[in-house]
Each structure stands twice: as C-alpha cells, then as structure tokens.
Structure 1
Amino acid sequence: MRRWGANLGVDLRARKGELLDQINTPDEEADSTGLSADDWLRRCAIESLLMEIFKGEELFWQRRGGQKWLFECDANTAYFQTIAIARRRKCSIMCLWEGDTLLEHPNDIRSHIYSFFKELFTAETRGGVSLSEDFWSAADRASDSENVELTIPFSLKEVARAIASIKAGSASGPDCLLVVFFQKF
C-alpha cells in the first residue's frame, strides 16, 4: 500500500513539472515576441490545470495536518507543545526600534507601545500647519454666527448616534481600525 501511495505522488509531481515547463515556454515567448490570442488561451488552460494540482496538494496537506492534530492535540504531547510555543512566539514582539534605539526588554517595549497609542489617541491638537489669515476671501469665510454654531461641542448622544449609524462591516480608515472598534469602545 505504501509503495502505491508513493507512486501516486511521483506521478503527480511529474505531471506538475511537465505543466510548469509548458507554462514557462509561453512566458518566455511573451517576454520576447508576444503571444497570440490562441497562445494566451493555451497558457490559461495549462495554468488552470496547474492550479487544480496545487489545490489538491494544499487539500492533502491540510487534511494530513488535521489528522495529526486530531490524533495528537488532545494528549499533552511534544507535537502539541511545539505548536503552542510556535504560535506564542509568532504572536509576540521580541524587539522594537524606537528611532535608533533597539528595545528588547518587555517593560521597555510595553511602555513604548503604550506611549505611542496614548499620543495617537489624545485629543490635543498637533502643532505645525495652519492656514494664513488671507487664505479665504471675506465672502467665503464663515460668519460669526456660523462659526459659533460650527464650534459647539458634540454631545455624547450625537457621537454615539453617528457611530452607530455606520455599517459595522465597512472598511477601516487610515488609522486601520475597524468600525466595530469604535462602536464597541
């Protein structure tokens, strides 16, 4: 049985190699002389066959990994411990640059991240850029009564109503925070 399974893999690898060779030839022609419409269609057909093989391989490895996980994850095995440690390492920040300084101690990294986000979410105005007094003509400027109306502070109810009216699944803004973040917090 083992040899039969191994032979299936050899045939599949050979077929994949043939398809990769067949797809490289039109790619080289496209770089030098260009391809006709029929050549492009042939290339696309080869590419779709190749994608089927790749999907099959991915499914095989996904199922094989799942079987191993099912058999060994419930037991406190070395395999399970390795997976857990790798996941923890992948999700942690070991070092961080602050300008020219490398931060490696967890407390330094934590305080740097905290101060970054604290500064990012402060309500203080950031200095620097401002418009000159004569940027707009007198007719284009807001009147004193309009200015008073525009500078009235927002009420919490207005802000809550505006945030609740945004579709929760919409794309994040330039700050990379999803709308759900603002609706929840």
Structure 2
Amino acid sequence: MVVGETKVCGERANRISGRINLDRAIFANSIGLSGGLWILWDSDQVEILEVASIEQEIHVIVNSSSRPPWLLSAIYASPGFAKRWLLWENLESVANLYSMPWVIVGDFNEVLMGEDKFRAIQHLEKTHSDHCPIKLCFEKIGGVQLPRPFRFQPMWLSHLTFPEVVRDAWTNSASLHQAVSNFSSKEISWNKSQFGNLFQRKNRILARLKGIQNCLSLRLNSFLIELEGKLRLEYAEVAKLEEEFWAMKVRILWLVEGDRNTFFYHTSTLVHCKRNRILCMKDRMGNWLNGEREIAGFIRQGFLDLFTSGHTSAPLAAWDPPAWNNHLNDEALGILESPVTNKEISEGLWALKPFKAPGPDGLHAGFFHHFCLVVVNLRKEVKNIFNSGVVPDYLY
C-alpha cells in the first residue's frame, strides 16, 4: 500500500503505521507540513527490497510468487519547479539502471493530458478520508466488447426513402422473423449509404457555415448569402434529429415542442450509462469481484440458483384437491375460446407506448404503429401464438 502526502514523519509515522494491519514499512519523511510518502506491505505476501528513499520518491523491487520481479516507484512531487526537475533527473537514472517492468504511482504535480490520470488503476470508495483510495490492477480493466445490438431510431422516419426499405423487407419475407431479420440487415446498409452519420453531417454543416461567414465578413456575395440560408435550414433539421436521437436514448416520454433540449438529453444519457456500469461487486463470502466476466458469471449463477428447483412435479390427480367449481359462465368461456381477431391485435398494439424499451429485435411499438399496413404478417404471428400456445424463441 502506498500513502502519499502524509504530512508526518519520525516517531509519529511509526505509531500511525503500527495501527495498520501491515507489518513492514518504508518512509520518506515530510518536510514540515508538506509531502511525505509511505510504502507498507505484508511480508507474508510479498518481498520488497528498498532501492532508494528520498524526499520526493521511494523506489523498491517487488517479489511475489505469482509474477516476476518488478520495480515500484512511489512519487509525491514538490510544487516547486526546481525540486521537481531533480525528481525527473532521478527517474531518468532509475530508467537507465533497471530493465524490469516498472510501475510509477503518486502525484507528479504535472499532467500532460487528462488521460494520463486513468490507466491501470481503479478508484475505490471513500470511507475514512476525503480522498479515494486507488487500486493498482495488473489485469486490464475494461468492458467486454460485445456486439452492438440493432436498435430502431425514430429519426429514420423523416427520410423519404426509409419506407421503401421497410416495404422491401416485408414484401419479400414469408414470416415475421424473416422480415425483421431482412429489415435489420437492409437498414444497416441503408443507414451507412443514405442516411449517414448524423454527427458528421452536423460538423460538416458547421464547418461550411464558418467558412461562408468568414468570407462574407470580408466581402458580400449573393451566392454565399443564399447558400448560408440553405445551410441554416439544413442545420435546424439536423439539430431536430439530434434531439430525437438523444431523447430516444434516455427514453423520456415528454418533450417540450420548440425547445431544443439536446444538451439535457445527451447529459441524461451519459449519466444513465454510468449508472448502468458495474465496476465491482461482493460475492457471498464478502470478496470483491472486479473483472467484468467474473461479475457477469456471478450474476448469472445467482439467477440460476434463484430460479432452479430440485422439486419434481406431480399430476393433478395426485393432489386430490377439493371440488373446484367453474366460475366462468358460458359467455365468458366463449370469449376466451374464440380466435383472436385483427381488431383485438390492433387495439393491443396501439395500447403500447410508441417508444418505450424495444423488444429483442430492436424494434419499438412505434415502428409497428407507423407501418401497421405494411407489416401484415405481425397479425399472422400473433394468431399462431394464440392457437399453438407457444411463443417462438426469437421473441424472447
């Protein structure tokens, strides 16, 4: 464990470190009320050889049974430029002396870019301090790259050629499953070739507007003035589509017409994604799970344990229940036993909110609302489910 900016030294540092459940320690004493570095470890788990320990840095070699030796440098750089320059000279000397894997942790008081602060580290929860503990992870922390599922976007409805894609997919398909599969593949190619990337389109319009306005600031030109007007209209259209895109992402049911809430929807989507990300989880023994595959396996096993039973079923005759009266009259039974009608299917479809969470095929109810006269095999599929009592696997 590496502790920086301790602001204590000498006997007091020994007393404080003695209360931590780690039996060995190396200290770089603070200068007054600034700086200070500690490295603490459990000698039963790792063997550490001290290389150097001075005001701004501690260098050690770490040996463990699970991996080859590696060099650890704990840094707390001085805010003063001259002292910090000395630190960089020392680090260059260490780099020339050792050729083993090297981990450098701490505060350099110099950051070249924001990404430098996030590499193979993980921020833990704050419990006894106003600082987050940082965990060094030897395995890569990152999401499993799963294939991106198909999702219908309502903004496609604004394009003149989109109904042709839907009509072509459903006309040449015998079943609903085949039609949805054909549509998703056709739509992906159509989106790339005709609709295009919305954000790239927006950036191109802004770049052209900037160039035109720079030219007009030097000299008026009737052609450029007309072109600027056209680009402004095109930009308003793209901005409206962008708003619909982010609104769909956060699944917000209300929208104030005429008020462009793109920033709100974008921010809400980012917050939603971060809340959905599980970085670590405790198992039943209280141990922390950090890898995404490990967490996914634990959750999956939890569902299997919850919904799997060792009990066997028994036939109804073996229960010997008391006589149960049939409380349904003949009229109600007739309604339940009668085939489902197109009218009932349409009423059920239109009772669904158009753009709530999509089904496993990536299509919202709003898609079927818009193309109810085209996707006629939807009614056929629903009737087959009611007649057979079996839901096809592709709808799960």
Is this a same-fold pair by TM over 0.5?
no
Q: Which has the higher strand share?
A: 2
Q: Could you tell me the TM-score, scaled by structure 2's length? A: 0.15
Q: Which has the higher contact order (CA 8 A, sep 6+)?
A: 2
Q: Could you tell me the TM-score, scaled by structure 1's length? A: 0.30
Q: Which has the higher helix share?
A: 1
